[in-house]
Amino acid sequence: MRTLRETWHWLIDPVHWAGDDGIGHRLAQHVLLTLGCLIISCVIALPVALVLGHLGSGGALAVNLSNAGRAVPTFAVLVLLLLTPMGRWGQGPTVAALVLFAVPPLLTNAYVGMRQVDRSVVRAARGMGMTGRQTLLRVELPLSLPMMVNGVRIAAVQLVATATIAALAGGGGLGRIITAGFNLASTPQVVAGALLVAVLALIVEGVFESVERLVPLRAGGSR
Amino acid sequence: MPPDDCLARNEWICGAYLRTRRHILLDAVAQHLQLTAASVLIALVIAVPLALLARRWAGIAGPVLAVTTILYTVPSLAMFSLLLPLYGLSPTLVVAGLVLYSLTLLVRNILAGLRAVPEETRRAAHGMGYGPIRLLVTVELPLALPAAMAGLRIATVSAISLVTIGAIVGFGGLGNLIYAGMNTYFKAQVLTASVLCVLIAVAADLLLLGVQRLITPWARAARG
């Protein structure tokens, strides 16, 4: 109970919101890092998944990549990248690690979504004289959209988590409030930082939950 | 004259490191395995009854799945930090955090496995005079095993990777070595500990796959 009260006091103290180490700046860093890496990962993963899914090849790669991603500790990759020459480029290692862990769920979900499109619909599109590109963009893409958005959601939640761990390896973001709290042996600060991170992750999950509800409407109301 | 070996040159791959720090590495691996095993086993003991309850009473299934999903969304570093006031800087904190993560994966998969048991199979067992408990133990649970084992494999592999975050409270198994290696810029230690982590995860996954083949011989017969 006392910790809760102290955490609350820590959170509402305006001193902790201002400045470079303040909650405001750290939150902005965290959101920017997550959003930027999400966009980079989507640009890398989605076209590859769409083309592979359209051609129907590389399925084993797309699925196994996701499993392999789970076995590799995020923290280890962050530290390994930090110790390479890349470590000198400021946020470089963090961005690289974040993208590395966001790509597998994006790739797997988009690929599976493409392959789950009813083959008879694809054949019908071909029968109507659609070219490969038209089939991909007008038939397969809209039908696989719900799965793809689900992949983006998993990646986004993963990115928020990985960006937090980045603080352990000297990166920015809300995780810094937690690690600084540990260094100061200040439990209220640790708990306050953790609460902020947890709430941010839940908000991201909630936003995508609503987006996922809207997507099927655009995709023709079928689900 | 200072020694000119791979340790002094701070190389990534270093045989001398393996030789001289064998005990440190073995201790870290042991801690890693203990933390993983404890959390996955505790999660399993909680998950099975939860899944059975959720299967029996549909009203419970929604809230159980919702709560476990929310727990899974909380990033690992935040999860460990939130548990700090409850457990302090202890291995229990790491185990408690990992239990909460494994719970989601296990409950989901066990429930999916139980729900996938065909209704005809259940009715056939009923017709043969099976009571509810015998039906559960000899028909439903064995048929749910492949899905449950898939969940157990994912939970175990994830736990092995997440133990490293326990380094923030000083109980991270190989994560401790990675954390220390980061602060001292010790390349060989970071790479060796990371590779060991992945090897443990792969070995555990293969081991559980073997167990799954052993306890579900019918699945193999049907495939072959």
Asked if the C-beta of B94 comes within 8 angstroms of chain A's C-beta atoms, the answer is no
Contact A138, A76 (CB under 8 A): no
Of A73, A179, A198, the CB nearest to B161: A73
Asked if the C-beta of B82 comes within 8 angstroms of chain A's C-beta atoms, the answer is yes
pLDDT of residue B155: 95
Residues of chain B with Cβ-Cβ distance to A175 below 8 Å are 77
Closest residue in B to A4 (Cα) is B85
- Residue A204, CA distances (Å) to A23, A37, A198, A209, B68 in order: 18, 14, 10, 9, 17
Asked if the C-beta of A55 comes within 8 angstroms of chain B's C-beta atoms, the answer is no
Give every residue of chain B whose pLDDT is below 70, as ranges. 1-3, 221-224
Contact A187, A181 (CB under 8 A): yes
Q: Is the pLDDT assigned to residue A28 strictly greater than 70? A: yes
Residues 6+ apart with CB under 8 A from A118: A143
Higher pLDDT residue, B114 or A59? Answer: B114
User: Measured between CA atoms, how close is B214 to chain A, in angstroms?
Assistant: 23
Asked if the C-beta of A84 comes within 8 angstroms of chain B's C-beta atoms, the answer is no
pLDDT digits (tens, 9 = 90+) for A100-126: 999 999 999 999 999 989 999 999 999
**3-class SS string, A110-166:** HHHHHHCCCHHHHHHHHHCCCCHHHHHHHHHHHHHHHHHHHHHHHHHHHHHHHHHHH
Asked if the C-beta of B144 comes within 8 angstroms of chain A's C-beta atoms, the answer is no
pLDDT digits (tens, 9 = 90+) for A139-177: 999 999 988 998 999 999 989 988 999 888 878 889 999
Q: Is the pLDDT assigned to residue A90 strictly greater than 80? A: no
pLDDT of residue B96: 96
Instruction: Give the residue from B116, B138, B104 showing the smallest Cα distance to B55.
Output: B116
Residues of chain B with Cβ-Cβ distance to A83 below 8 Å are 182, 185, 187, 190
User: What's the mean pLDDT in A12-24?
Assistant: 85
Strands (E), chain B: none
pLDDT of residue A222: 45
Higher pLDDT residue, B2 or A206? Answer: A206
CATH superfamily of B22-215: MetI-like (1.10.3720.10)
> Are the beta carbons of B77 and A83 separated by less than 8 Å?
no
Average model confidence (pLDDT) for chain A?
88
Q: Of how many residues is chain B composed?
A: 224
User: Measured between CA atoms, how close is B223 to chain A, in angstroms?
Assistant: 19
A positions 123-152 inside 8 Å of B (CB): none
Asked if the C-beta of B160 comes within 8 angstroms of chain A's C-beta atoms, the answer is yes
Proportion of chain A above pLDDT 70, given as a percent: 96
CA distance B73 to B75: 6
Asked if the C-beta of A73 comes within 8 angstroms of chain B's C-beta atoms, the answer is yes
pLDDT of residue A223: 41
In chain A the domains, ranked by start, together with CATH numbers, are 2-218 (1.10.3720.10)
pLDDT of residue B223: 57
- Residue A15, CA distances (Å) to A8, A19, A148, A175, A178 in order: 13, 8, 42, 18, 16
Closest residue in A to B77 (Cα) is A165
Asked if the C-beta of A105 comes within 8 angstroms of chain B's C-beta atoms, the answer is no
Structure tokens at B45: 């003991």
pLDDT digits (tens, 9 = 90+) for B12-67: 888 888 888 889 999 999 999 999 999 999 999 999 999 999 988 888 888 988 89
CA distance B6 to A93: 25
Closest residue in B to A203 (Cα) is B73
Residue A2 pLDDT grade (very low, low, confident, very high; cuts 50, 70, 90): confident
Structure tokens at A65: 């990549």
Tell me which of B74, B100, B169, B197 to substitute to probe the interface with A (most A C-beta atoms closer than 10 Å). B74
Q: Is the pLDDT assigned to residue A93 strictly greater than 60? A: yes
> Are the beta carbons of B73 and A201 separated by less than 8 Å?
yes
From first CA to last CA, the distance across chain B in angstroms is 65
pLDDT of residue B222: 64
pLDDT of residue B1: 58
User: What's the mean pLDDT in A81-96?
Assistant: 85
pLDDT of residue B140: 92
User: What's the mean pLDDT in A1-25?
Assistant: 85
Asked if the C-beta of B219 comes within 8 angstroms of chain A's C-beta atoms, the answer is no
